Chains A and B, each alone.
Chain A
């Protein structure tokens, strides 16, 4: 029996990068060796999955932001000076011109969609009981979730959550005081990985996962469509690491997918000081990560 084919050879074979003479021998081996054949199939499955991914294009707003940023940075009128001035901040937070432009776009979108829906959510308050009564009967009417289309939307919306804005305000006021927000922030439950299957058990007894502000609590208990395999409390418990604190959570629609938005305060270093806000958007179906942003005071 011929020796087994290594991964590199099999991978190259899938790309048609194995020369004819060698290829014949390999094909002969594959026909008789189930182990190598299974390896080849597994690699082929990966290639097929990747090729099946949809093409991702920039949206109209993103294209405009991109164009504007490039014009500002390197337009003929500003050649040289502007180009040299163009620089990202060292901190790593997106601070390029794109963000100024997109920020305006996001703000406009928020006026149209976000604020209105958010206000509607607020007005209809903590309708946990109402929803609990309605949901089983109604054929899962889509919840009035805030519609978010991009990372910028997520940031804007997250900042509008009371718990988040309060936290950012506090840390901004006293950036160097260790554990300044701690007295008001209940520790999050222990991080437990991969226990998503337990979600169904929790769906009837939503528990608060802890939050500093009252609004965060009510948001955490906000109505979740019962059809979801993973409830917001379950998803929140699963994703928030120990040592972090939940600031707010809400059902949203992110790029057309029903999702949970969870904002929590976390330390940026191993000092343990809660000095940044992580905003995660997770699918309601499986608590899978759709978007992740960091907000600094």
Chain B
């Protein structure tokens, strides 16, 4: 089968061709369509390429393994986001076992940073957010998903998504520009306490931090 013909097929059909039809080219088409968003989302949540690549691998392997359980109730892309967030959750949890001492260095002081690469500063600040807030903010502000899409991908109510995004943004504002609106993130004093900020584990400790949402934030398995 020609690649050009495969390009016209739906994601679901590509998965089926690959799994049962013995059409390895279907994988290439599917990867080309989705690898950037999966890797990009994982990178912004986990903060490094190695983990993002690992998570991406889990996602695409998961796509073919769980293909039978995907029932078009949600868009394929949303399902992919869901697999990605879950893979990232696993990684973040594993990473959280590492020592955290150096992470308090992340954002020395806003004045010192002013002249360095803003992207690094933002990445450092993102790492301090609890997993749920970070992934919600990434999906909204970096990936451009709607509240509804984020709710579907993380399996929570839209109201919860709204709250996570607000808390995440407020915490980031408190870290990046503490003087601007002091009332925004009272939990994060300017300069950051030496003990580290909430959820400051490498890659983020899931559920850490004082603004943790209700338990069971992320479903471990991904039944569509």
Q: Is the CB of A53 within 8 A of B122?
A: yes
Q: Is the CB of A193 within 8 A of B104?
A: yes
Chain B's closest residue to A90 (CB) is B94
Residue B89 CB within 8 A of the other chain: no
Q: Is the CB of B162 within 8 A of A191?
A: no
How far apart are B21's CB and chain A's nearest CB, in angstroms? Answer: 7
Q: Is the CB of B180 within 8 A of A12?
A: no
**A75 cross-chain contacts in B, Cβ below 8 A:** 24
Chain B contact patch, size range: 35 or more
**B102 cross-chain contacts in A, Cβ below 8 A:** 239-241, 278, 280, 289, 292
Complex interface bits, A262-297 against B, C-beta within 8 A gives 1, otherwise 0? 000011100000000010100101111111111000
Residues of B69-102 at the interface with A, using a CB-CB cut-off of 8 Å, are 94-95, 97-99, 101-102
Jot down 29 A-B pairs with beta carbons below 8 A, ordered by A: A8-B162, A8-B166, A11-B166, A39-B184, A41-B180, A46-B141, A46-B172, A49-B176, A50-B172, A51-B141, A52-B118, A65-B53, A66-B53, A66-B56, A66-B60, A70-B61, A74-B61, A151-B49, A191-B101, A194-B191, A267-B99, A268-B97, A278-B98, A285-B116, A286-B112, A287-B105, A288-B116, A288-B120, A292-B102
- Contact flag A289-B64 (CB < 8 Å), given A8-B163, A49-B118, A58-B53: no
Cα–Cα, bound, A244→B192 (Å) = 23
Residue A150 CB within 8 A of the other chain: yes
Chain B's closest residue to A43 (CB) is B169
Q: Which one of A94, A244, A257, A280 contacts B54 once the chains associate, using CB atoms below 8 Å?
A: A94
Q: Which one of B124, B183, B184, B192 contacts A288 once the chains associate, using CB atoms below 8 Å?
A: B124
Q: Is the CB of B116 within 8 A of A283?
A: yes
Q: Is the CB of A62 within 8 A of B117?
A: no
**B109 cross-chain contacts in A, Cβ below 8 A:** 194, 196
**Interface majority SS on B: helix, strand, loop or mixed?**
helix
Q: Is the CB of A45 within 8 A of B173?
A: yes
Residue B1 CB within 8 A of the other chain: no
Q: Is the CB of B105 within 8 A of A51?
A: no
Residue A38 CB within 8 A of the other chain: yes
Complex interface bits, A61-89 against B, C-beta within 8 A gives 1, otherwise 0? 01101110111011111010001001010
**B56 cross-chain contacts in A, Cβ below 8 A:** 58, 66
Q: Which one of B44, B53, B162 contacts A53 once the chains associate, using CB atoms below 8 Å?
A: B44
